[in-house]
Chain A
């Protein structure tokens, strides 16, 4: 989400330019369905089923209008489709059938995948103390960044280690997936554990103030006591511990 890296669904070539904003949103949505069908899956069960036919979309818009007016909300913008996008983030609104059978609209955010790497130097773990834009404050956390390559994101993990802490991975172990904010966002984080041989300089561009080494005991104390609050770092620590990696 920072000013570089992979696009969350970049610009798409279009033919003619439709007239209204609503037409443009829907045209971009149709292109996205054709290009990234996985974003629109309807798995079995009582789900929020995505509706894509023109007739169903119009019905869902009417359902949303009625529901919004009942709740005293504005019903002027009932667009379905891609509402906004730039290279890092895409906001869209789907027409859905809710589990109770009602139809309406449901917003979501499409963001690129991330890699999170927990690096170990000998028997200690290296965390960075980094300023985060979302919270406007510093946090202890494992190096992470936007993945631009194909999954598994080993090249991205190695690049983040090199850029953020000047380290090279002698060994890289996949710790599986994590979903940071599944309610409204499709973002996936892939976790790795890395054995490194050295630590270099922290990356100034990334607002990394320092690199701190934690023994397993100190790390667990810092998590238990609340000094470490970054959820992906807690998750990577647990997965690495469960596998006996440190």
Chain B
């Protein structure tokens, strides 16, 4: 019989199945960090406590339930119940990409110019000037993904490809990271319109610095990639 006072009547069966399937994502590597509560009794107790706080503020009790908040063909969005290092309880969202946590971004240099793409980004409802990025395909190395992105998005002929380490664009919300590359290219084609790319644009290093400084280039990954390439002395 369902308990009418249970704030999370749907229970956590789906969440538990995911935790069992992806144990790596539910690890508690450090007691100083945020601890994910997955033990049945501890989780139910925490959910009830959070629900009581929410109810006292006139908010829906189910906002305190751990669960698979959302799922589609590409992502899971979770709501975890966590214990903060000061002992307090709360919820925290996470996004997990089903194709794995790794994708790539590439800074292409053609002669003495850097090559950017103008993309329409649905998340922003606006245009963005960015370096090519993409991937997220299981079973492919980062270098393979980088070569494919350069060919698909830019039709580029690659002379050389140099890895520049990785970055996390939003470490609060997801483990997803980008492997960065610096590519020397000898030629490129026209914009791939089917990918929502309107324009391929080449700029000098000084021009890109101005575009970053004046808020024209605001893509976190592109700015971070340029920063790393500069500090490695490649530009």
A133 within 8 A of B: yes
Q: How far is the CB of B142 from chain A (nearest CB, A)?
A: 14
Q: A109-B77, A242-B213 are in contact. Are A43 and B172 (CB under 8 A)?
A: no
Please determine whether B170 and A134 come into contact, CB atoms closer than 8 angstroms. Answer: yes
Q: Which residues of A contact B94 (CB under 8 A)?
A: 133-134
1/0 contact trace for A54-88 toward B, CB 8 Å?
00000000000000000001000000000110111
Q: A46-B198, A186-B123 are in contact. Are A131 and B33 (CB under 8 A)?
A: yes
Q: Which residues of A contact B231 (CB under 8 A)?
A: 220-221, 223-224
Q: A136-B175, A176-B215 are in contact. Are A226 and B166 (CB under 8 A)?
A: yes
Task: Give the number of residues in B that approach A within 8 Å (Cβ atoms).
Answer: 73
B184 within 8 A of A: no
Q: How far is the CB of B141 from chain A (nearest CB, A)?
A: 18
Q: A182-B123, A182-B219 are in contact. Are A84 and B69 (CB under 8 A)?
A: yes
Q: A134-B174, A176-B215 are in contact. Are A2 and B92 (CB under 8 A)?
A: yes
Q: Which residues of A contact B93 (CB under 8 A)?
A: 1, 88-89
Q: A88-B93, A182-B128, A229-B165 are in contact. Are A133 and B123 (CB under 8 A)?
A: no
Best-surrounded residue of A4, A73, A109, A136 (most CB of chain B within 10 A)? A136
Q: How far is the CB of A178 from chain B (nearest CB, A)?
A: 5
| Cβ-neighbour of A238 out of B120, B166, B168, B230 (below 8 A) | B230
Which residues of A207-243 have CB atoms within 8 Å of chain B's CB atoms? 207, 209, 220-221, 223-226, 229-232, 234-235, 237-239, 242-243
Q: Which residues of B contact A18 (CB under 8 A)?
A: none
- C-alpha gap A235/B219 in the complex (Å): 9
Q: How far is the CB of B31 from chain A (nearest CB, A)?
A: 10
In the complex, the number of residue pairs spanning A and B with C-beta atoms less than 8 Å apart equals: 228
Chain B, residue nearest A88 (CB): B93
B111 within 8 A of A: no
Please determine whether A231 and B220 come into contact, CB atoms closer than 8 angstroms. Answer: yes
A180 within 8 A of B: yes
A164 within 8 A of B: no
A14 within 8 A of B: no
Which residues of B109-128 have CB atoms within 8 Å of chain A's CB atoms? 120-128
B159 within 8 A of A: no
Chain A, residue nearest B120 (CB): A47
Q: Which residues of A contact B25 (CB under 8 A)?
A: 136
Please determine whether B122 and A235 come into contact, CB atoms closer than 8 angstroms. Answer: no
Task: Give the number of residues in A that approach B within 8 Å (Cβ atoms).
Answer: 79
Interface 9-residue window, one of B1-9, B11-19, B82-90, B144-152 = B82-90
Chain B, residue nearest A235 (CB): B223
Please determine whether B223 and A178 come into contact, CB atoms closer than 8 angstroms. Answer: yes
Q: A89-B77, A224-B232, A242-B213 are in contact. Are A179 and B30 (CB under 8 A)?
A: no
Which residues of B47-100 have CB atoms within 8 Å of chain A's CB atoms? 59-60, 63, 69-70, 72-73, 75, 77, 79-80, 82, 84-86, 88, 90-95
| Cβ-neighbour of A2 out of B90, B95, B170 (below 8 A) | B90
A30 within 8 A of B: no
Q: How far is the CB of B123 from chain A (nearest CB, A)?
A: 5
Q: Which residues of A contact B125 (CB under 8 A)?
A: 38-43, 50, 186
Q: A1-B173, A41-B125 are in contact. Are A205 and B215 (CB under 8 A)?
A: no
- C-alpha gap A207/B35 in the complex (Å): 10
| Cβ-neighbour of A133 out of B63, B92, B224 (below 8 A) | B92
A149 within 8 A of B: no
1/0 contact trace for A16-53 toward B, CB 8 Å?
00000000000000000000001111110111101000
